[in-house]
Amino acid sequence: MGINQKEILQEIKILDGGHICTPKGFFAGGLHCGLKRKKHDLGWLYSIVPANAAAVYTTNLIQAAPILVTRESIEVDKQIQGVIVNSGNANACTGEEGYRHALLMRHYFAKKMNMKEEHVAVSSTGIIGEQLPINKVLDGINMIGKVEESVANFEKAILTTDTTQKRACVQLEIDGKMITIGGAAKGSGMIHPNMATMLAFITTDANVEQEALQSALKTVVDETFNMITVDGDTSTNDMVLLLANGLADNTKLTPDSPDWLHFIQGLETVCQLLAKEIAKDGEGATKLIEAKVIGAAGEEDAKKLAKSVIGSNLVKSAVFGTDPNWGRIVCALGYSGVDFDTENISVFIGPYQLFANGLPVLFEESEVKTYMEENNEIQILVELHEGESSAIAWGCDLTYDYVKINASYRT
């Protein structure tokens, strides 16, 4: 394989408007079953053949019933054919009864679509601590196929306080075949009396060995969804689910395949696009913040530093106020727990250097302020001289609306 051919193979094409049903053999829909007042609240995803499945779940000690049921399904033979998702109620902290409700959702959806129960994943997001009005959900499942189906309806049905639907899709050539990876996600929505929930569903028609798929997802999630922060709170219901149904007919991908890294890049592109959409749509957010750290001693250090900047309420407030406040950035680096030589740090906001080798730089404040006012994506670059590692984290500004959304939901 010549270099030119290799370069062509390495191309990843982002499909504008592509989605979870762009990969072959996937169908999805969404409808209103009555958990929310008016909006779509029940979504379903279906592959015409069982797909190899990989999943990453919330690390919160308290895990919602649907998470337990999905884990059980995947454990059987690591395949999933259908996913049923409701919004409006998280079915978390609901004990035995909640667990039975999640089992019922799985059972009815499996029956409806003629699948094995253990090939169904269940997901919920919304209010915690209230029992799911299960009859509404089961009636909703019964309506599948009787209402107009569309991916947009699925994308809407998984949302809570998100303001926009989130989709992404890429195509790449592997083993001479065109494979497609699509995704849909929801971000941090605050639901009475609940917390942010992050859900992402990724589909691909690539043929991928299941263990490799799981390891790829873990790697990619660590670089993407785990690098976003809206308010630092981790939900009881978070989940990223990846289904690979193999209909692209490529030779089965494993970590030994020449195209393995290429596949991972494609997956990472989809996950990164979705993760950025989530960060950008953080509650009350007006701006996406991207913090890039370069020259760190190791990857873990780079990640910790980038996340410390993104997680600082002071940095987030400063971005909202379009205040080029390098002091708060430097301070967040300092308390990140990472050891580095403080006399070697440089900080940039957009193209402007504000801090060089541990000392402030004279800069034209109005220019930086203008950059921050005019851009919806604010780039923060931190340069160390400790090594070769880098990381990027994404977050959003902290605004009056964040407080409003989270303080006044009940009032």
* Binding-site residue positions: 160, 186, 197, 283, 406, 411
In the complex with its own copies, the residue whose CB is nearer, 339 or 374, is: 339
In the complex, what is the shortest distance from the CB of residue 10 to its own copies, in angstroms, rounded to a whole number? Answer: 38
Query: What share of residues in the chain are helix, strand, coil (percent, to 5)?
Result: 35, 25, 35
Smallest distance, Å, CB 165 to its own copies? 24
| Minimum distance of its own copies from residue 217's CB (angstroms) | 21
One of 125, 197, 204, 399 is an active-site residue; which one?
197
CB of 38 to its own copies, least distance (A): 23
Query: Which of residues 34 and 327 has its CB atom nearest to its own copies in the complex?
Result: 327
341, with CB counted inside 10 A (0-12, 13-18, 19+), is: exposed
All residues at 6 or more sequence positions from 177 whose CB lies less than 8 Å from its CB, including other chains = 248, 249, 250
For 348: left if phi > 0, alpha if psi spans -120 to 50, otherwise beta; the answer is beta
Nearer to its own copies, 69 or 248 (CB): 69
Q: Is the Cβ of residue 255 or residue 358 nearer to its own copies in the bound state?
A: 358
Q: Token pair for residue 41? A: 């609240």
Could you tell me how many helices (H) and strands (E) the chain has, helices first?
A: 12, 16
Q: What span, in angstroms and rounded, lies between the C-alpha atoms of 203 and 326?
A: 40
Q: How far is CA 409 from the centre of its chain?
A: 24
DSSP strand E in 58-161: where? 79-89, 120-127
The backbone torsions φ and ψ at residue 250, rounded to the nearest 5 degrees and listed phi first, read -75, 160
Rounded-to-integer distance, Cα 188 and Cα 3, Å: 43
- CB–CB of 381/292 below 8 Å? yes
Residue 6 has phi, psi (to 5 degrees) of -60, -45
- Beta bridge partners of residue 13, listed in sequence order: 171
Tokens, residue 303: 């990640």
CA gap 248, 251 in Å, rounded: 9
Q: How far is the CB of 360 from its own copies (least distance, A)?
A: 4
Nearest to its own copies of 34, 129 (CB atom): 129
In the complex, least distance from residue 318 CB atom to its own copies, rounded to whole angstroms: 7
CB-wise, 100 or 116, nearer to its own copies? Answer: 100
Contacts with its own copies, residue ranges (CB under 8 A): 59-62, 92-95, 127-130, 190, 192-196, 231-236, 311-314, 317-318, 320-328, 330-335, 338-340, 342, 355, 358-360, 365, 369, 398-400, 402-404, 406-411
Contact status, residue 249 vs residue 24, Cβ threshold 8 Å: no
Give the residue with the Cβ less far from its own copies, 27 or 99: 99
Whether the CB-CB separation of 47 and 245 falls below 8 Å is answered with: yes
Which helix or strand (DSSP H or E) is residue 346 part of?
strand 346-349
The three-point CA angle 388-278-311 to 5° equals 55
Binding site for substrate, by residue number, is: 160, 186, 197, 283, 406, 411
Ordered DSSP codes for 215-256: HHHHHHHHHTGGGEESSS---SS-EEEEEE--TT-PPPB-TT
Q: Could you tell me which residues are beta bridge partners of residue 71? A: none
Q: How far is the CB of 391 from its own copies (least distance, A)?
A: 18
Residue 59 annotated among the catalytic residues of the structure: no
Catalytic residue ranges: 197
